[in-house]
Structure 1
């Protein structure tokens, strides 16, 4: 068991909550790492960034942070991170740059099945929440999970205000100044695989590519945990 290690903070993305990390968390805890997986509001990029920053300010010592899906946009924003963050891990995630949006990145290359036909919006006070339609969830998000698990994820979605996908970063992307690792999902119908490859190469990330759909932390928790541990080691 490891000791005196940095805290690992896991940031979930849109359409799932922190439970997407459960298999990863168990493995990292068994290796002695302190792990935290906050519940993100998903009401806007700037507000999610502010929320994460306030959360990180309560964490003592060095931090390695991982983001899944839209969580990658959040950890790409310099306003989200404290000086304690030593490394970034992007898991089937946006590696958003300054002056671009997650929405444009998602459609920069063909292949995303996250479309008006597969999604539904529901109003909340002050905005709209976007969900994947239950009948499309497995195909778009979790094609390599067993149908029962995919159905549970579909029923328990954490929606996002789609306006968040049209917001830009507050400054130069964090991956321009911090070392980064990326898990590229090679069978992704949410964020196209070619988009993930493009973003990881641009960032100079250390890349592991796995033949998996978008719910990579659920389908491949051991490999995801191993990549995060590689980031811990590489950030020393």
Structure 2
């Protein structure tokens, strides 16, 4: 069996965008690992997962699929029954069962202050999309990120539809149920309570969990070394398993 390194596919969550992975991408590249940062549409869970599946299908060889925040639901759905996905990494990300949504999981333990930080804007297709108010973006999303960087993140945040956050996972067996997974998150996450992230890692029988003291929701930006190390552990696991097969 080939010892080809898997390609890492990075899926951002709500209120972020592809460049939020830049620090992680740089560190993966330094270790000879190719990565692709997906522009997650953030319109509907089913549509977002379908788009990620299309991106995966365009890649030759195995994939380590990484999700941040709402992206955890997307990768769980997109990897269900997808043999090309060899491993999963959840970075401050939801780990859903069938029927779970971002809204239901975020309320499964106390501590999130996200609702108070959101503004809603009508969209022409119906419903609303949500954004984090710029005045509170740093405190809510990226408290351990330098103010100038957090300001740029607030300006470039991608809105998410309310519908996407309410959409339930449809897969009977989300990808983490039959694929190895690794988990990294901040202990001071104000979007998703650390208790929710901790429970998700336990649910998935995590092969490696790193709960970072003092870290915010924006771990891919504030803690790129730790996130990259977690991804590299998954990559090494996949390479070892393929070499032994």
Using the TM superposition, give the Cα deviation of residue 20 of structure 1 relative to its aligned residue in structure 2, in angstroms: 0.8
Looking at structure 2, the residues matched to 12 and 56 of structure 1 have their Cα atoms a distance apart, in angstroms, of 15
> What pairs with 1:48-87 in structure 2 (closer than 5 Å)?
48-78=48-78, 82-87=82-87
Residues 23, 220 of structure 2: 8 Å contact kept: yes
Using the TM superposition, give the Cα deviation of residue 80 of structure 1 relative to its aligned residue in structure 2, in angstroms: 6.2
Residues 9, 35 of structure 1: 8 Å contact kept: yes
Q: TM-score, normalised by structure 2?
A: 0.92
Looking at structure 1, the residues matched to 80 and 167 of structure 2 have their Cα atoms a distance apart, in angstroms, of 14
Residues 46-92 of structure 1, C-alpha deviation per residue, up to 9 Å, x if partnerless?
Answer: 11011111111111101111101111110111566731110000000
Corresponding residue of 2:200: 199
Corresponding residue of 2:220: 217
> What pairs with 1:78-227 in structure 2 (closer than 5 Å)?
78=78, 82-115=82-115, 117-127=116-126, 128-171=128-171, 172-205=173-206, 206-211=208-213, 212-227=215-230
Change beyond 3 A, Cα 1:56–1:78: closer
Unaligned runs of 5+ in 2: none
Q: TM-score, normalised by structure 1?
A: 0.95
Residues 80, 174 of structure 2: 8 Å contact kept: no
RMSD between aligned alpha carbons?
1.4
Q: SS at the partner of 1:77? A: helix
The number of aligned residues is 233
Looking at structure 1, the residues matched to 51 and 118 of structure 2 have their Cα atoms a distance apart, in angstroms, of 26
Matched, 1:26 2:26: yes
Change beyond 3 A, Cα 1:81–1:74: farther
Looking at structure 2, the residues matched to 85 and 175 of structure 1 have their Cα atoms a distance apart, in angstroms, of 10
Unaligned runs of 5+ in 1: none
Residues 50, 78 of structure 2: 8 Å contact kept: no
Q: SS at the partner of 1:112? A: coil
Residues 74, 80 of structure 1: 8 Å contact kept: no
Residues 75, 81 of structure 1: 8 Å contact kept: no
Residues 14, 158 of structure 1: 8 Å contact kept: yes
Residues 78, 170 of structure 1: 8 Å contact kept: no
Corresponding residue of 2:42: 42
Q: Which moved more, 1:60-69 or 1:79-88?
A: 79-88
Residues 24, 222 of structure 1: 8 Å contact kept: yes
Residues 96-119 of structure 1, C-alpha deviation per residue, up to 9 Å, x if partnerless?
Answer: 11122111110111111111x311
Corresponding residue of 2:11: 11
